């Protein structure tokens, strides 16, 4: 019997990279997964990968910053699977500049996607979780639920050129610790994972100017080859982490082995 049989997991930004690996690993342990991505094709790909391995998944496509998204996301879980057990707030991107060159639009965009969107999703789920927990308690049952918020060492340590991103990720850590205190009575463990250098399209080593379009904005991605090499040299393990390894850190907080771990920040950095 898989460790997450009968569990329902929701993972934002799970069409690519770390989020996709989180969704695949949750499904491999038996969870039914609500997959989200800004674009339909990546979300569909993740769903198909899960189903090809005998798992269960459904897509909920759209931007997490859309005020209407949280209800649609939670409703997708409830309509298809009837419960919520795991929420992983993973969706996001970076939009860097030094403070004198950063626009308020850049600052607000990071706050919206990395802080307000997770808050809205968790708020939308809150009443369902409260009611489910109350019903379980009345039957003498204890059902543990998990929230994992994805932060960054930019949030826990700071990083030049990222006053917007690091501020949002730091605030997310504060929200995590506060919600662990509010939701403990509902048997919900709320934790955060802060990544160091993980190989994704946002951190890919390249000397070409590469941009992606996110909600009408052209956002640079990738890291200059020389800079990327220098960053990896500072990691004690001597390399960037893979998306699978990043997802492994998230899984630690989703499995039953962490049922008495809450309000914690785990840095997944290769020792850096």
The catalytic residue positions are: 165
Instruction: Please state, in angstroms and as integers, the Cα–Cα distance from residue 195 to each residue in 60, 122, 159, 268, following that order.
Output: 25, 21, 13, 5
> Is 221 within 8 Å of 211 (Cβ atoms)?
yes
Taking each helix axis as running N to C, give the angle between helix 163-183 and helix 104-111, from 0 to 180 degrees, rounded to the nearest 10.
Answer: 30
CA–CA distance, 21 with 219 (Å, rounded to integer)? 23
Instruction: Please state, in angstroms and as integers, the Cα–Cα distance from residue 194 to each residue in 78, 214, 221, following that order.
Output: 29, 23, 20
Sign of CA dihedral 60, 78, 72, 221: negative
Structure tokens at 152: 């960054």
Instruction: Please state, in angstroms and as integers, the Cα–Cα distance from residue 92 to each residue in 52, 58, 200, following that order.
Output: 27, 20, 12
CA–CA distance, 262 with 264 (Å, rounded to integer)? 5
Whose CA is closest to 111, among 71, 160, 171?
171
Max Cα–Cα distance, the chain, nearest Å: 60
Give ∠ CA 195-201-204 in degrees, rounded to 5: 85
Whose CA is closest to 48, among 33, 30, 63?
33
CA–CA distance, 261 with 180 (Å, rounded to integer)? 10
CA–CA distance, 175 with 188 (Å, rounded to integer)? 14
């Amino acid at each position: 019997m898989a460790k997450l049989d009968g569990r329902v997991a929701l993972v934002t930004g799970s069409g690519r990279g770390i989020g996709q690996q989180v969704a695949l690993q949750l499904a491999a342990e038996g969870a039914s997964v609500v997959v989200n991505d800004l674009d339909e094709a990546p979300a569909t790909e993740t769903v198909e990968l899960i189903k090809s391995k005998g798992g269960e998944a459904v897509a909920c496509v759209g931007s997490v910053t859309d005020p209407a998204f949280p209800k649609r996301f939670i409703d997708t879980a409830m309509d298809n699977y009837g419960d919520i057990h795991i929420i992983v707030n993973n969706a996001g991107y970076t939009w860097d500049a030094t403070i004198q060159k950063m626009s308020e639009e850049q600052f607000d965009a990071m706050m919206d996607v990395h802080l307000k969107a997770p808050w809205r999703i968790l708020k939308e789920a809150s009443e369902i979780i409260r009611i489910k927990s109350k019903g379980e308690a009345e039957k003498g049952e204890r059902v543990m639920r998990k929230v994992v918020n994805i932060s960054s060492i930019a949030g826990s340590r700071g990083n030049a050129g990222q006053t917007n991103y690091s501020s949002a990720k730091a605030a997310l850590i504060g929200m995590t610790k506060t919600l662990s205190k509010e939701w403990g009575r509902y048997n919900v463990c709320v934790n955060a994972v802060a990544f160091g250098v993980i190989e994704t399209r946002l951190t890919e080593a390249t000397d070409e100017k590469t941009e992606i379009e996110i909600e009408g904005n052209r956002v640079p991605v990738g890291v200059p080859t020389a800079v990327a090499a220098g960053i990896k040299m500072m990691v004690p393990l001597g390399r960037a982490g893979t998306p699978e390894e990043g997802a492994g850190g998230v899984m630690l907080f989703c499995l039953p082995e962490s049922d008495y771990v809450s309000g914690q920040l785990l840095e997944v950095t290769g020792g850096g």
